[in-house]
């Protein structure tokens, strides 16, 4: 039987890596896209036009679109990655977050049942370490109690339980990957890691003066997204549907991430002060052109990036995934991850500069009639 995957959230960080992974395995990959005023889908632009890659309009808030699409595609595997995935935004848009991240999961499960695909279609639900929230145990594993601590986490908790319920009530192959934070050069620019790597690149190239962050004491178990999508697939290849924690088993603070990212951008930082008064001060630079930065505050704290309730101690225990999925959580180390992201963003920022110089020159040449 041909493997046919339906990916919701195909335009996101994970959706783009998962599409590449499944296409390489010979799957027919179908992805759900939303109507947007901007048509360019940066993360999957390179896949559009690939014969086995198909995009369809639908929305997690629109049951009818999901029922029709599942019926048309007849998937053998569904990866439900679509979500309003930003924790801080979930405090500003809690109802939308609940609609997409909680009820959206139910709509998708019902779309499978409505099309009578319960016996032939396996479903992966993108669950999250945010379920542990105000953590009750460190490190966290599949048996750690949940204590969600944001509207996002509460919505995702519903998603987790409704998947479990449908597995038990209707004997469906549906399960959750409880994934800890995973990052990459494709990470959204307002998540803390990408915000830091882009700022380090911009500061090193004279395009930004200072990076403002929220809680730098916050601890995360950060992995590489490209490694994590393999687990999503492995979870659906097991004989029995089960939930898995996916994490590296190594924990770092936002401050440590920042220090290492600036190091890779050629800037050494020393942190001084506490809480709102904490500052990252430049103590040395590699590039002589950046010597003027020495002694300057390049990282500071802003209240704007603090959350009403913050999850501050995430640390996953991937023992079960290692044993049952045969997955290596250390394929890409924390140090390599930070280096990959900074290297990418140094090149991106440099290219933006070239692109903007070309635009400025072109405007000038057009004005002077040098080019027509």
Look up 114 and say whether it is catalytic. no
Q: Is 6 a residue that touches ligand NAP (CB under 6 A)? A: no
Q: Is 109 a residue that touches ligand NAP (CB under 6 A)? A: no
Half-sphere exposure of 323 (CA within 13 A, CB side): 6
Q: Of the two residues 159 and 241, which places its CB atom closer to ligand NAP in the complex? A: 159
Of 6, 126, 196, 254, the one binding ligand NAP (CB under 6 A) is 126
**Contacts for 171 with CB less than 8 Å, ≥ 6 apart:** 118
Of 200, 254, 285, 341, the one binding ligand G4F (CB under 6 A) is 254
213 is in the binding site of which of ligand G4F, ligand NAP, none (Cβ under 5 to 8 A by kind)? ligand G4F
Look up 128 and say whether it is catalytic. yes
Taking CA atoms, 110 is separated from 58, 104, 114, 115, in Å, by 15, 10, 6, 8
Q: Which helix (H) or strand (E) holds 37?
A: none
Which class for 237: exposed (0-12), middle (13-18), buried (19 or more C-beta within 10 A)? Answer: exposed
Region near ligand NAP per CB under 6 A, out of 77-85, 233-241, 279-287, 318-326: 77-85
DSSP letter for 299, please: E
Q: Of the two residues 63 and 251, which places its CB atom closer to ligand G4F in the complex? A: 251
Q: In the chain, what are the helix, strand and coil shares in percent, each to the nearest 5?
A: 45, 20, 35
Residues 170-199 that bind ligand NAP (CB under 6 A): 179, 181-182, 188
SS3 of residue 128 by DSSP: strand
Q: Of the two residues 61 and 114, which places its CB atom closer to ligand NAP in the complex? A: 61
CB of 222 to ligand G4F, least distance (A): 9
Q: Of the two residues 150 and 205, which places its CB atom closer to ligand NAP in the complex? A: 150
Query: Mask of contacts with ligand G4F, 216-235, x by CB under 6 A?
Result: --x-x---------------
Query: Mask of contacts with ligand G4F, 169-198, x by CB under 6 A?
Result: -----------xx--------xxx--x---
Ramachandran angles phi, psi of 29, nearest 5°: -110, 125
Q: Of the two residues 65 and 218, which places its CB atom closer to ligand G4F in the complex? A: 218
Region near ligand NAP per CB under 6 A, out of 81-89, 199-207, 234-242, 321-329: 81-89
Q: Is 12 a residue that touches ligand NAP (CB under 6 A)? A: yes
Give the whole-angstrom CA distance, residue 254 versus residue 270.
Answer: 14
Q: What are the tokens at 133?
A: 């929230």
SS3 of residue 181 by DSSP: coil
Q: Is 16 a residue that touches ligand G4F (CB under 6 A)? A: no
Residues 85-104 that bind ligand NAP (CB under 6 A): 85, 100
Q: Taking a C-beta distance cutoff of 8 angstroms, is the pair 193, 153 a contact?
A: no
Torsion-angle region of 116 (φ positive above 0: left; ψ -120 to 50: alpha; else: beta): left
Give the whole-angstrom CA distance, residue 141 versus residue 135.
Answer: 11
SS3 of residue 131 by DSSP: helix
Look up 130 and say whether it is catalytic. yes
DSSP H helical ranges for 116-219: 151-170, 192-204
CB of 179 to ligand NAP, least distance (A): 4
SS3 of residue 253 by DSSP: strand
Number of residues that bind ligand G4F (CB under 6 A): 24
Q: Is 260 a residue that touches ligand G4F (CB under 6 A)? A: no
Residue 362 burial (CB count, 10 A): 12
Of 310, 339, 343, 352, the one binding ligand G4F (CB under 6 A) is 310
Q: Of the two residues 149 and 173, which places its CB atom closer to ligand G4F in the complex? A: 149
Q: What are the residues binding ligand G4F (CB under 6 A)?
A: 85, 87-88, 128-130, 180-181, 190-192, 195, 213-215, 218, 220, 254, 305, 307, 310-312, 314
Active site (catalytic) residues = 128, 130, 152
């Amino acid at each position: 039987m041909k493997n046919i995957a339906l990916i919701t959230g195909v335009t996101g960080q994970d959706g783009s890596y998962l599409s590449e992974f499944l296409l390489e395995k010979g799957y027919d990959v179908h992805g759900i896209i939303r109507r947007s005023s901007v048509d360019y889908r940066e993360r999957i632009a390179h896949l559009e036009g690939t014969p086995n890659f198909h995009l369809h309009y639908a929305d997690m808030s629109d049951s009818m679109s999901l029922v029709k699409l599942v019926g048309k595609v007849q998937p053998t595997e569904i990866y439900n990655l679509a979500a309003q995935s930003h924790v801080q935004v979930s405090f500003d848009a809690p109802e939308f977050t609940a609609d997409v991240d909680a009820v959206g999961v139910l709509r998708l499960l019902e779309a499978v049942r409505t099309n009578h695909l319960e016996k032939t279609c396996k479903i992966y639900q993108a669950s999250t370490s945010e379920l542990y929230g105000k953590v009750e145990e460190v490190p966290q594993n599949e048996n750690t109690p949940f204590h969600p601590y944001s509207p996002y986490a509460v919505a995702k908790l519903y998603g987790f339980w409704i998947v479990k319920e449908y597995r038990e009530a209707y004997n469906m192959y549906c399960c959750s990957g409880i994934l800890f934070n995973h990052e990459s050069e494709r990470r959204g620019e307002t998540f803390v890691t990408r915000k830091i790597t882009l700022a380090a690149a911009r500061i090193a190239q004279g395009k930004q003066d200072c990076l403002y962050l929220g809680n730098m004491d916050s601890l995360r178990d950060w992995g590489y997204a490209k490694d994590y999508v393999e687990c999503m697939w492995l979870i659906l290849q097991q004989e029995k549907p089960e939930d898995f924690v996916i994490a590296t088993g190594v924990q770092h603070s936002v401050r440590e991430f920042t220090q290492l990212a600036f190091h890779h951008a050629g800037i050494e930082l020393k942190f001084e002060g506490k809480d709102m008064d904490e500052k990252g001060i430049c103590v040395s630079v590699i590039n002589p052109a950046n010597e003027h930065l020495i002694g300057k505050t390049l990282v500071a704290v802003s209240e704007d990036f603090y959350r009403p309730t913050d999850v501050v101690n995430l640390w996953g225990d991937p023992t079960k995934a290692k044993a049952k999925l045969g997955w290596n959580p250390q394929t890409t180390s924390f140090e390599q991850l930070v280096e990959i992201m900074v290297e990418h963003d140094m090149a991106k920022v440099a290219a933006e500069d070239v692109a903007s110089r070309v635009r400025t020159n072109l405007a000038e040449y057009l004005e002077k009639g040098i080019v027509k």
